[in-house]
Amino acid sequence: MTDDTAHERRALAGRLADAGVLTTPTLRGAVESVPRELFLKPGVFLPADGGWQPVPWATADEATRTQIAYREESLTTQLDGHLTADKVDGLVKGSPTSSSTTPVTVVSMIEELGLEDGHAVLEIGTGTGYSAALMCHRLGEDNVTTIEVDPCVAARADAALETAGFSTWTVTGDGLLGNPRRAPYDRVIATCAVRRIPYAWVRQTKPGGIILTTVGGTWNYGTGLAKVTVNEDGTAEGRIIGRSSFMQARSQAPELVSGDLSARVAYADSERATKVAPSLLTEWMPAFVAQLAAPRAQFTRARDTDGTALMYVFDPERESFAHFIAQGDVWKSVRQGGPVPLWDNIEQALMAWQEAGSPDISAVQLRVTDNSHTYWIEGHPALRWQHDLA
Ligand SMILES: C[S@@+](CC[C@H](N)C(=O)[O-])C[C@H]1O[C@@H](n2cnc3c(N)ncnc32)[C@H](O)[C@@H]1O
């Protein structure tokens, strides 16, 4: 199966260049050369009716394959850690566990790396291999190492990379450990989200080298793209350069609270009016701030059998919760239970953030050491969070 998609690749590169995302001529050459459709075998799942419609690549016609591959969308290629589009007949339910990230995100992240000839890159989250292929085209196959935790996904990506002409270093394993065998790297890029930047990545990056990854809590939003530079002293420093959302690195993904929540919130230690609207937690930057203030917390929304909206923050490891009570459409009060006063901590941070003029996520700076992550917003001592490992 060789689709002739040269025209679509050039058009994609043109759109990305017009949008100001693709600026480096050598990377433009990569976008124009690497056929994304090669990396979508054995097929994709398209969202449909609250589930997923499989489109197996072997039976889809060329026009369909081309039309899907050059959509500027992330394309889900695996559900629930095992299901691929060639294994199911009709609409299925499931959670995406591997995908081809939308080209605009992939390309803007690679541009952000400021690649130079001879740079050695480590990618965490090979997925389909498309982003690795773009970097191979730019740097040469020997300068790219890519790690994928799922052996089947890694094998498919490796095969696709070979077909595209790149015999690169595709490693199967937990990317949170990096890949010491080929270290040190000039650039480390993760296309999965992490709750904290593993110190192994800092260790494996040359001084002056860059680590680019999505960081944040366990929510699927309220996460940011961290860009840090490694210092001679083994620390790394930088900032959050914008919003970013990726699937969580598997080994860091927590078991999410679900099911009947009533038992979890049965015993409250306090109840009071809220000073800040808890509905703020549905917005991106407040959600980011909340997760800095309560790094292990999960945010859950549900509906009661009578349709009443329910909203909670849980820290299951610390047996702590905040349960918000609505009057009509307005969230009025909060019941809190357990040793960690989750909403007190989050509310205090949100109030300080509002008093600071509600700065954007790009105001957040970050320093990583071997035992801590410190996030802060300059000039606002109340907006500083240190997360210690020990
Ligand atoms: C969004 S996809 C990657 C997209 C890919 N770069 C592309 O362009 O096709 C995220 C991938 O990260 C992988 N992943 C999750 N946790 C990982 C970990 N701890 N180490 C390595 N890969 C991981 C998932 O299995 C998934 O394939």
Q: Note the pLDDT tens digit of each residue in 28-78.
A: 999 999 999 999 999 999 999 999 999 999 999 999 999 999 998 999 999
| Confidence band of 111 (pLDDT split at 50, 70, 90) | very high
pLDDT (tens digit per residue) in 257-294: 777 788 899 999 999 999 999 999 999 999 999 999 99
Give the position, in ligand 1's atom list, of the atom nearest the Cα of 249. 16
Query: Which one of 79, 104, 191, 213 would you pick to mutate in the ligand 1 pocket, going by the greatest count of ligand atoms within 8 A of its CB?
Result: 191
pLDDT (tens digit per residue) in 120-147: 999 999 999 999 999 999 999 999 999 9
Token readout for 215 is: 């960081």
Atom 12 (ligand 1) nearest CA = 125
| Confidence band of 244 (pLDDT split at 50, 70, 90) | very high
CA distances from 359 to 195, 226, 278, 362, 376 (A): 22, 16, 18, 8, 12
Give the integer Cα–Cα distance in Å for 328 and 216.
32
Q: pLDDT above 90 covers what percent of the chain?
A: 89
How far does the centroid of ligand 1 lie from the alpha carbon of residue 341, in Å?
Answer: 34
pLDDT at 1: 46
End-to-end CA distance of the chain: 53
Phi-psi label, residue 319: left if phi above 0, alpha if psi -120 to 50, beta otherwise: left
Q: How many CA atoms lie within 13 A of 2 on its CB side?
A: 4
Does ligand 1 come within 6 angstroms of the Cβ of 101? yes
Query: Which one of 150, 153, 161, 214 would you pick to mutate in the ligand 1 pocket, going by the greatest count of ligand atoms within 8 A of its CB?
Result: 150
Give the position, in ligand 1's atom list, of the atom nearest the Cα of 132. 6
pLDDT at 256 over 80: no
Q: pLDDT above 70 covers what percent of the chain?
A: 99
pLDDT at 105 over 90: yes
pLDDT at 3: 67
* 3 state SS of 71: coil
Among the listed residues 367, 384, 60, the one whose alpha carbon sits nearest the alpha carbon of residue 229 = 367
pLDDT at 259: 74
When pLDDT is averaged across residues 327-342 and rounded to a whole number, the result is: 93
Atom 27 (ligand 1) nearest CA = 127
Does ligand 1 come within 6 angstroms of the Cβ of 84? no
Give the integer Cα–Cα distance in Å for 182 and 184.
6
pLDDT at 174: 97
When pLDDT is averaged across residues 294-308 and rounded to a whole number, the result is: 88
Q: Which of 38-47, 107-116, 240-249, 259-268 has the lowest mean pLDDT?
A: 259-268
Domains of the chain, CATH where assigned: 6-89+96-243 (3.40.50.150), 256-354 (3.30.160)
| Confidence band of 309 (pLDDT split at 50, 70, 90) | confident
Does ligand 1 come within 6 angstroms of the Cβ of 174? yes
